[in-house]
Amino acid sequence: MRLYKWPSIQSFHHIRKGTKEYPHICGENKTVTYKPKIKLHGTNGGIILSKDGLYTQSRKRVLDSLKDNMGFNLWFTKNKDYWEKVHKRYGKDIAIFGEWVGEGINGKTAIGSIGRKVFCVFAAHDLDYKEEDCNLIVEPKDLFNILGGFLSHIDVFVIPWLENQDIEVDWSLESEDLKPCVEKANQLVYNIEKQDPFVKMIFDVDGIGEGAVYYPVSHPGRYYFSNLAFKAKGDQHATVKQKKSVQVNPELTKNVAEFIDLVCTEARLEQGAREVGDGDLTFDTKRIGSFLKWICVDIKKECKSEFEAANLEWRPVGKALTTKARNWYLERFKNG
């Protein structure tokens, strides 16, 4: 069974850097219209409906009854009749992507207090096309139609657009000219961190939200999404301690210690522990090698702009990073 990977989503300043270095990734139109959806704090899940079978996946692997991800495959199996109907009605092979969220998955946001686990869909794409060529389906109305309407009876929900929060970004502009759209995005994330509007609307639960994901709706398709979509997290969930959730330029650090403090946050360390723990935030010294590797690889990939701006060598950074991450993991293991 094949794994259909969901693209990694970068920060605003990473996209700006990319469009400066490789302007062709915007196509002929450098002005991109974005619509945001709430970013839920859970674990990425995919449901594959194909002629080769119906199955589930996490971000990195295909799931089954022996290797599940926080009960996602078990829930899917219990509702397989419904997913067979979705596949038959749609008439083509399709991958449906969403966030598996709720009780026992991540308890630091409002969605973790709803009293059960649910699957919140944010995108889909036909499997008849190569991934880079496919028309990524992100419009909530289209996703509703594919899924057959409002499906709360089996705990499936479609994440809507956040209304009146569209922004236009001309990636050819200089830093100062990008301030209005950046300020609007930062205000949205600030409000979400005070109250998650999706969770309040659907589940009537108050509490903090993680942030938002901005979809490049003027540039449809997986290729543009992979290169132009960006995420913005609130302070409590940021994996980089930058001054604002959305910034035009990366934070500058003067030395190794400042860089480690900037990028090796509690949120990133917890994310790494979940990744090597199959979604569960548990600690086992047998996993510490995998954990340290994940942290180093993730920071090299996600924090390339910050690393280049700091003008540091990786060897001392890697050593200091490994020390901090190991001490953190062992302390959490010790405290249960």
pLDDT tens digits for range 293-316? 999 999 998 898 999 999 999 999
Mean of pLDDT values over 96-123: 93
Which two tokens mark 313?
Answer: 């060598």
Nearest-CA neighbor of 324 among 253, 273, 260?
A: 260
CATH architecture of 12-237: 2-Layer Sandwich (3.30)
What pTM was estimated for this model as a whole? 0.90
Structure confidence at residue 43 as a pLDDT band (50, 70, 90): very high
pLDDT of amino acid 257? 96
Mean of the per-residue pLDDT values for the chain?
92
pLDDT of amino acid 131? 58
What distance in Å separates the CA atoms of residue 163 and residue 269, rounded to the nearest whole number?
33
What distance in Å separates the CA atoms of residue 309 and residue 25, rounded to the nearest whole number?
23
Give the SS3 label for residue 244.
coil
Domain ranges of the chain: 12-237, 256-334
What distance in Å separates the CA atoms of residue 200 and residue 332, rounded to the nearest whole number?
32
